[in-house]
Amino acid sequence: MNEVPSSGISRRDLLKTTGKVAAVSALAGVAAPHAFAGEDNTIRIALVGCGGRGTGAAANALSVPNEPIKLVAMADVFEDRQSNSHRNLSTKFGDKVDVPEDQKFIGFDAYKKAMDCLRPGDVVILTTPPAFRWVQFTYAIEKGLNVFMEKPVTVDGPTTRKMLALGEQSVAKNLKVGVGLMCRHCEARGELYDRIQDGQIGDIVLLRAYRMMGPTGNTPVKRNPGNVSDLEYQIRNFHSFLWASGGAYSDFLIHNIDECCWMKDAWPVEAIASGGRHYRGDDVDQNFDSYSVEYTFDDGSKLMLEGRTIFGCYQEFASYAQGTKGSAVISASAHSPSKCRTFKAQRMHNDEVTWAFPQPEQSPYQLEWNDLIRAIREDLPYNEVKRGAEASLVTSMGRMAAHTGQRITFDQILNLDSEFAPHVDQLTLDGDAPIMPDADGKYPVPMPGLVTKTEYLIG
């Protein structure tokens, strides 16, 4: 349970395998086992979820070097986001964006229509709010599509169980699936991981992660102004609502959590935490604006996580490892460049550096797409669903510990019965949202110590 499972093939193994394939084939990817039939070897892309992250993922897909890739379909529930995304991508990529008007789909069933424009072996990008991930992934598997899905891929225990089962189905169908934990594709972090596993800083006894910045994503938010349905309002502001995204904690702190667990090569088995809401005024989102979490691994070592989204405070966005023989910087400032380095002592002074990854670094956002497309072309084992689901679950474990004030274990949250939005696959834009506001336009918020079985009162 506490071991970090392989995604099927590491970037380094993938590159080694690719080299072997290239050595025996003068045509390399052109004659690869997974190449499309006929003369058209273009990989077609459909974008489901046209916000900022979806547009960025599509741009990375279209930027994979030396690959015929086209964006041919787009889906969203909001026409304005789709039109903005299409305009921006078309301006940058020209005829690589080939989305006619009749392949721009709007609505809750738009994801199906967009995927119907693809052939088996093409790629769908799933970047809607995470609550819808398992629903759309189910259809992608039915269509035989390769997938890139943004993190987190689950928001609670029940959706994690669904995603793990779907992951097994996708592996059985030999689908290639990437999950947007792009730090796993960072070359610097990859070399740091190798050095840590080689024992260069000794046994890890402490990991520290910090994302202490201003407000993130579309949080905080004011009351629904009343000109849209409550469901539409919540989807537009999905970082504000736990059912839709796991909140800002899950959507943003997951990267620091995941990169630390990667270096430890294990998942934590339990978490205790605290957190709170400050200076909220008229804000109605469900988030805390400070989180302090102690994750414990099976061997007793710790990951200490500090998250804060308050203006005017000390800021830090980084992760560190402390070992019995030295220490390491996992990430120095945001996600890229990581500026990974190791030290012979705990102080992390420049005069004690024992190794540093050379600069500049390639963007991990681009590398994860290069790796996915290479796996498709060379028919290499490549499926990140299990690891992505477990990273999402561990993130939810810390969030729930803070929101309830209780000690939460890995097994406990995995087997939890309570699901934020059990009927998310049946939602309609003219229907109710999974949570509805009270008469004052406010939503239920976590109350640690008072509400302890779930993260907020439902109903």
Q: 350-377 pLDDT, tens per residue?
A: 999 999 999 999 999 999 999 999 999 9
Q: Say if CB 130 and CB 102 are below 8 A apart.
A: no
Mean pLDDT of 385-390: 98
Q: What does pLDDT average to over the chain?
A: 92
Decide if pLDDT at 320 tops 70: yes
pLDDT over 70, % of the chain: 91
Check the CA dihedral 105-109-111-117 and report its sign.
negative
- pLDDT score, position 8: 44
Least confident of 8-17, 61-70, 326-335: 8-17
The more confident residue out of 248 and 14 is 248
Write the pLDDT tens digit of every residue in 411-425.
999 999 999 999 999
Mean pLDDT of 108-135: 98
Helices 385-404 & 157-172 angle (0-180, nearest 10): 180
Decide if pLDDT at 130 tops 60: yes
Mean pLDDT of 204-231: 94
Write the pLDDT tens digit of every residue in 276-313.
999 888 999 999 999 999 999 999 999 999 999 999 99
User: Is residue 229 classed as helix, strand or coil in its secondary structure?
Assistant: coil
Mean pLDDT of 256-272: 98
Decide if pLDDT at 36 tops 90: no
What residues form DSSP beta bridges with 251? Answer: none
Closest CA to 59 of 82, 83, 31, 93: 93
Decide if pLDDT at 389 tops 80: yes
Least confident of 25-34, 102-111, 272-281: 25-34
The CA distance from 178 to 194, in Å, is: 22
The CA distance from 136 to 153, in Å, is: 11
Decide if pLDDT at 15 tops 90: no
- pLDDT score, position 430: 86
Decide if pLDDT at 211 tops 80: yes
Q: Any idea which architecture 11-184+365-383 has in CATH?
A: 3-Layer(aba) Sandwich (3.40)
Least confident of 58-67, 185-194, 209-218: 209-218
Token duo for residue 190 = 């990859």
Domain ranges of the chain: 11-184+365-383
Q: Say if CB 149 and CB 135 are below 8 A apart.
A: no
pLDDT band at 218 (very low <50, low <70, confident <90, very high): confident
Adjacency order of strands within the sheet including 290-296: 353-356, 341-343, 327-331, 316-323, 204-213, 302-309, 290-296, 270-276, 408-409
- pLDDT score, position 6: 44
- pLDDT score, position 12: 53
Closest CA to 255 of 205, 297, 305: 305
- pLDDT score, position 280: 84
- pLDDT score, position 83: 98
The CA distance from 419 to 163, in Å, is: 13
Decide if pLDDT at 11 tops 70: no
pLDDT over 90, % of the chain: 88
